[in-house]
Amino acid sequence: IYFKINNPQSTIQHSGSQLFHLSLQQKVKTPIPFLLHGTLREYQHIGLDWLVTMYEKKLNGILADEMGLGKTIQTIALLAHLACEKGNWGPHLIIVPTSVMLNWEMELKRWCPGFKILTYFGSQKERKLKRQVLRYKRGWTKPNAFHVCITSYKLVLQDHQAFRRKSWRYLILDEAQNIKNFKSQRWQSLLNFNSHRRLLLTGTPLQNSLMELWSLMHFLMPHVFQSHREFKEWFSNPLTGMIEGSQEYNEGLVKRLHKVLRPFLLRRIKADVEKQMPKKYEHVVRCRLSKRQRFLYDDFMAQDFLKSLPCLESYLFLLVPGFSLIHRTRETLASGHFMSVINILMQLRKVCNHPNLFDPRPIQSPFITQPIIFHTASLVQDALELKAGGHRVLIFTQMTRMLDVLEQFLNYHGHIYLRLDGSTRVEQRQALMERFNADRRIFCFILSTRSGGVGVNLTGADTVVFYDSDWNPTMDAQAQDRCHRIGQTRDVHIYRLISERTVEENILKKANQKRMLGDMAIEGGNFTTAFFKQVSCLHKACCVK
């Protein structure tokens, strides 16, 4: 199989078609492995079929099911199948974010207790000792020392020499968007690992640009997705232009992209496979700045030093609501002033969140806390009133200092709450999650979006408040799916707070453009086994005629 984009009218369509027909031949009826302790849902069983088919066709792929549909379980089922049916006991390497290492270990022990699991973490001395113990007792390099090794992206990079010396049967990356940057040391190091097969797990295969998807595809099939430059010219630039309005919609190009990607990617969404899943309602709530906030915001925007930045005009589409960017400014990104603009945006976002984050003032009395904090976002106080109806709330924010402010408010009003941020230890995360879900007296869980948006199941809540929005919309999507997932019994309401006439309006606009790109490239591609079956049936009918 060879992929080249030099001649998209011939090479892409021919290779894509050839690979596509491999997907149409999915007739594997994989039995549930006897090693697996538990029952798969129907779509999870279909996912196992797809994974087994990819293995038998000697292809690598992306399991891109929407968050909360059990990618972990389907992966464990695949490894159990390989052990039962193929005699392939590994060793397999599973690389995950630090925050979910213990969750993976728990799930493996629960679903497949027959596996020997090495959870590779600890200090440098502890990790070295683990390797030495294995080497002298059973052998780090010998088969059956362990079947599955679980480690984090951070540790696998630190000890990459040891991991590269081993031959892995399956290299599995959870939250695979962690290797979206092909220029990163992480991507380049993992690319050279010795593995027979590779599998990427991500609910968000595309976050900011189409080139992130190329990074994932090249990692899986470097001989198929070869040229970065040509992929960018033929797909990334035109699709980005369609989203931004500088190019007309090209349906043929979009279909060609789907055709190329389809053999390697399986994606199902909750709305299609979980008919009993409660509904999800999203609300954008626009809030006026308080007088003090508006003064601080406008005063900062009027500062002379802003006008002196040569690249500022390039970013007016972010700073000034309603500003239309006419001239693109790629040159200015390399001018050295980019970080200055990022800092400006951060200061403005501080004003929007809470004036004391930008211009600290000592609070003389706790009575002052209430009117100051939620002048910008009165909905949070409304959310607190949901307590009477038995509702429970997750509040996400980008800033840990904002979590401090929220704590002041919750403490003053006597609400029982939990907090999770980047400083929360891995062992504590699981305990906090279990405590929140089990104890309905805990009304509120405040979390930082990046730390609390992955690796936790918080179905005990049914209301989500985004106090501010992430630059990357998929981060917010992951966060809201902490409670809108399998196990949720109530409809979920999501409230996004946006300060009027501020940078937050344009951040939301940019996030919507990124979502549109994802919808065009991924969601509209019918990357499901049902699609393969439909086309296969149609093909057979045509042949009969």
Q: Which helix (H) or strand (E) element contains residue 93? A: strand 92-96
Both tokens assigned to 34 = 């006897």
pLDDT of residue 489: 86
Backbone dihedral angles phi then psi of residue 31, each to the nearest 5 degrees: -70, 155
How far apart CA 353 and CA 396 sit, in angstroms, is: 12
Q: Which string of b and e fits 356-387 if b means at least 16 CB within 10 Å?
A: bbbeeeeeeeeeebeebbbbbbebbeebbebe
pLDDT of residue 544: 36
Q: How far apart are the first and last CA of the chain?
A: 31
| Per-residue CA distances from 104 to 92, 98, 233 (Å) | 13, 10, 39
pLDDT of residue 12: 36
How far apart CA 518 and CA 430 sit, in angstroms, is: 31
pLDDT of residue 23: 41
Long-range contacts of 223-226 (CB under 8 A, 24+ apart): 223/1, 223/2, 223/3, 224/1, 224/2, 224/3, 224/15, 224/19, 225/3, 226/3, 226/4
How far apart CA 84 and CA 88 sit, in angstroms, is: 8
Both tokens assigned to 179 = 């290797």
pLDDT of residue 545: 38
| Secondary structure of residue 46 in the 3-state scheme | helix
* Sheet architecture: strand order including 61-63: 117-119, 148-152, 92-96, 168-174, 195-201, 61-63, 265-266
List, run by run, the mean pLDDT of 10-residue segments along the chain (545 residues). Answer: 36 37 51 89 90 91 88 95 90 90 90 90 81 58 80 91 89 90 87 92 76 83 75 65 62 72 84 79 89 86 57 46 39 48 81 82 50 47 67 91 88 88 83 90 90 82 90 85 85 91 86 72 53 39 36
Q: Which helix (H) or strand (E) element contains residue 265? A: strand 265-266
pLDDT of residue 250: 60
Nearest to 481 by CA among 204, 173, 150, 96: 204
Which residues make beta-bridge pairs with 61? 199
Residue matched to tokens 């962690």: 178
- pLDDT tens readout for residues 9-55: 333 333 333 433 444 344 547 889 889 998 898 889 999 999 999 99
Q: Domains of the chain, with CATH numbers?
A: 8-267+523-537 (3.40.50.10810), 280-521 (3.40.50.300)
Nearest to 472 by CA among 244, 275, 221, 207: 207
* Sheet architecture: strand order including 444-448: 280-287, 492-499, 463-466, 393-397, 444-448, 417-420
Identify whether 360 is preceded by a cis peptide bond (ω within 30 of 0): no
Reported in sequence order, the residue ranges of 371-514 that DSSP labels E, i.e. its strands, are 393-397, 417-420, 444-448, 463-466, 492-499
pLDDT of residue 195: 92
How far apart CA 538 and CA 438 sit, in angstroms, is: 50
Residues 6+ apart with CB under 8 A from 31: none
Reported in sequence order, the residue ranges of 161-212 that DSSP labels E, i.e. its strands, are 168-174, 195-201
Both tokens assigned to 464 = 């989500």
Judge whether 19 and 221 are in contact, CB under 8 Å: no
Residues 6+ apart with CB under 8 A from 544: none
Nearest to 170 by CA among 151, 153, 149: 149
| Secondary structure of residue 520 in the 3-state scheme | helix
What amino acid is encoded at 268 in this protein?
A: R
pLDDT of residue 316: 45
